[in-house]
Amino acid sequence: MVSESSKSLPWGGELPTGWETRRVKTAYVVRLGKMLQPEPSTAIDKQVPYLKALHVAWGKVRTRDLPEMWASRRDVDEWNLRPGDLLVCEGGDVGRAGFIEEAPEDCIIQNSLHRVRPKSGHSIRFLYYCLEAISASGWFDVVCNKATIRHLTAEKLAELLIPSISESVQLDIVNYLDERVAVIDVLIGQSKRSDKLEGFVGQQLNRLYEYRRALITAAVTGKIDVTAETNGSA
């Protein structure tokens, strides 16, 4: 790992030599959802299922038993969903993000969510891990002004700085984190089900969560050489 850096991130510190920074909008397309429409506005509007912030947890989206709103065919075309879309919360726990695995026919998103899709040559899972790191750093509190009702507007999300690296390096990092985070999540689940003393379990969970956060941040900001780590563990 190279210690000398050429760029830095407000939420992730210095980056290795050769790494640059870029705005989210240069690599991903951000689209805020539709304002809730409780009544039809034309004779051909229909009721369609929609997702809102409460349906999104870190890494996943619940798509069963959804509420409905009125929408036009054009609305459905504009706010449609497909597998692999990343949904990011605009309010509440701002920045919380999850992936669409499947969605009901004609399902759309309300304006409490952003839909994010990658441009060519970019990994949506890399952005997801960056959002986890940004959330853990507290940077969303700065960007969204914690003293008031927080909103991660489309402009704020699009302007976030993230590392600018090749798609192959992004995928190396994603594969590294997918494997290691899955192991940590299993340990977290086991700890939550443990019948040990509550205080001990709480300390163990805190250590696991902290390690998870630190690992993700270190990987997406180049403080871990994931290629060396992967080869070393082979």
pLDDT digits (tens, 9 = 90+) for 146-196: 666 789 999 999 999 999 999 999 999 999 999 999 999 999 988 887 766
* C-alpha–C-alpha distance, residues 162 and 77, integer Å: 29
Facing residues of 30 across strands? 116
Residue appearing with tokens 């309300």: 110
CA Rg value for the chain: 19
CA atoms of 131 and 125, how far apart (whole Å): 10
Residue 139 burial (CB count, 10 A)? 18
Q: Indicate the pLDDT class of residue 2, thresholds 50, 70 and 90.
A: very low
CA distance 137 to 31: 24
Where residue 222 falls among pLDDT bands split at 50, 70, 90? very high
